[in-house]
Amino acid sequence: MNSVIVTQQPAGNAGGRPDVAATARRTIWAPSLIAYVLCMFFLAHSSAYHQGLLLVAAAYAMLALSLDLVAGTTGLYSLGHAGLFAIGAYGTAVLAERDHWSVFAALPVVVVAGAISGLLIGALSLRVSGLYFAITTLIFTIIVTVLVSNMSITGGYEGLSSPTFPSFSRSITSVVGSSLTWAVAGCLLLTIVVVWSIRSSAMYPVLLAIRDSERFASSVGVRTSLTKILLFGLSAAIAGLAGWAFCFLGFITPSQFDATASINVLVMVIVGGLNTRLGPIVGAAFVGLFPVVVSINSLWQEVIYGSIFIIVIVFFPEGFVGVVSRGGRWLLSRWSQRTDANVQPVGTGAPVLTPARNYVPLLRPALAGPVGGNGAAPAIEAAKAARGEPLLRPDRAQLGGVDGVTPALSAQAISFSYGGGVRVLDDVDLVVRRSTVHGLIGPNGSGKTTLVDILSGALFPETGTITINGHRAERLPSWQRADLGLMRTFQTAAMVGELSARDNVTIGLFNRYRRIGLRSPAWPMIPSARHDSRTMAASAMEALGAVGVRPSWARTRIADVPHGVEQLTQLATACVGRPSILILDEPLAGLSSDEVDQVATILNALRGSGVTTLIIEHQTRFIFDVCDEVTVLAAGQLVKSGSAAEVRVDTRVREVYLGQ
């Protein structure tokens, strides 16, 4: 098929242009570190008043960063961080003052205590979500506040005096200044490095996928519940570290860690900018310094403070840093339009025709020509050399010792009902032969999507068995089925809108690169991780090219691309992990005729490369033209299964589905 896909170039995003924002982030870290050290140097020599003011803001910045780590990336709005903050502060004070521990010996203890508390809270609370999760974590803060208010070891309502932080020798102090300033600055820097490393890692798109669509994340092999628990534990450990730093900055009382404190930390994150690199720090500085800068009547101070918060929520929900970032993207877009004469802005009516045959290199050793214009083609070659075979072919390791006769996917006697009511599926059989395209059709309500959800692990059958590449799988969760070589797409594209098409596709590589999560807190500092980032980006670019998405769209946010590009990006995400079995749930929904031809070309190429495809679709002409075999469902029962030619002429199929 010499079809073409008609798309328009996104403004300011030429295919050959490097990722300016990413390049800026990589080159700015050294000057930023120098500037940070200089600021801390001057602060360490400033007055005790200014040191105390800014160090309290720094401690709250650490706490805000820890909250944003879970709220911004996974959507878990915790009101329990004040309680975790209290564990770090009170734990240090008690160990130092009562048990005479060194404050440095107390540090790992309170950090581990915070992490363990976070893991327990996460394991218990993550069974719920949204408002219920927030309430559950708020109850934890209330419990901690009640305990420290009524225990003699914590000083009750009167609190505890701050432990004394060890000072440098007089000669060293005269040069570098206050030791406490450098200790708090070091804690804040460590927090920034960990949080920003996670945001720079291959784990960050996966976390956003968990936030926006858990079923999408699970379908590519992510253990979503465990990931959220571990991330909450890391966030809690940072909150404990913030408490350790805070306990040296003044008298500790229960009122500093109550429910109001939890809400104030959330305000810091929202005002500064949720899920932004600098937002929590800016928000903490604003909330911490506002009472000092706006030194007026306390009543009017609260009124102004509340009004600012309401204005941000209503008119600028992305926060201060989000607004600045949006303005920066707009300026970058305008600059790109003026400097690239080849770019056709959206809305000019100048389509770019991309021949499908030029973008389906599934069986070729490399793409024709460079991809992305930023050194991606050599990286693709390196990625292929590391694996020893072309991308997008099924992974032979998934097939194990399976012979050519064993079906790729088999379901026997599958029955299912929602809530014990009417059966949606009743004793359904499905056998999908290896390296074929198998169609699944039927009227609305026939049980097609339910069957696909059962095959992919989103639902479990009441009765029946499922085998994937010879392995029994009816009780395996979806993330384990991905390890067996099964990937899927969804009827409504489950993409992360704020990420680029390329970054969305890298999510599909999660189960091919091990220990992504464990390496993420130090990702930029690990050579193997940096190499993985390059090869994952290159693989994503090739996958996008393979499904017909031009490189010019690769760095465009999914929220800004046409529907056809979004659907093809979802297909690339499912293909890039080199599955042996691919399930497509209505991939043609909303596509133009040219884009439908594009998908047909892709399916033929996938079949030729050894991938088994099961496709649900309402366009019967497409199904019978492309598929080798077709299964028909009606009212949850099997009507007919056989070759496309047999099913097309079957009398009962014509009666129940084709209306003839």
SS (H, E, C) 463-481: EEEEEECCEECCCCCHHHH
- Quick: pLDDT tens for 135-155: 889 999 999 999 999 999 999
Span 607-626, mean pLDDT?
91
CATH topology for 20-326 is ABC transporter involved in vitamin B12 uptake, BtuC (1.10.3470)
Residue 96 pLDDT: 93
Alpha-carbon separation of residue 267 from 272, 423, 445, 546, 551 (angstroms): 8, 48, 45, 45, 39
Q: Which residue has the higher pLDDT, 550 or 352?
A: 550
Does the CA dihedral 383-384-387-393 come out positive or negative? Answer: positive
pLDDT greater at residue 377 or residue 244: 244
Q: What are phi and psi of 557, to 5 degrees?
A: -60, 140
Cα separation, 473 vs 478, whole angstroms: 9
All CATH 3.40.50.300 domain ranges in the chain, comma separated: 376-397+485-627
Q: What is the CATH number of domain 376-397+485-627?
A: 3.40.50.300
Each residue of 285-315: pLDDT tens digit?
A: 988 888 787 777 777 777 887 888 888 888 8
Q: What is the pLDDT of residue 290?
A: 80
* DSSP of 592-652: -HHHHHHHHHHHHHHHHTT-EEEEE-S-HHHHHHH-SEEEEEETTEEEEEEEHHHHHH-HH
pLDDT at res. 358: 36
pLDDT number for residue 500: 93
Residues 6+ apart with CB under 8 A from 332: 12, 20, 21
In the chain, residues under CATH classification 1.10.3470 are 20-326
Q: Tell me the average pLDDT across 507-521.
A: 92
Residue 27 has pLDDT above 60, yes or no: yes
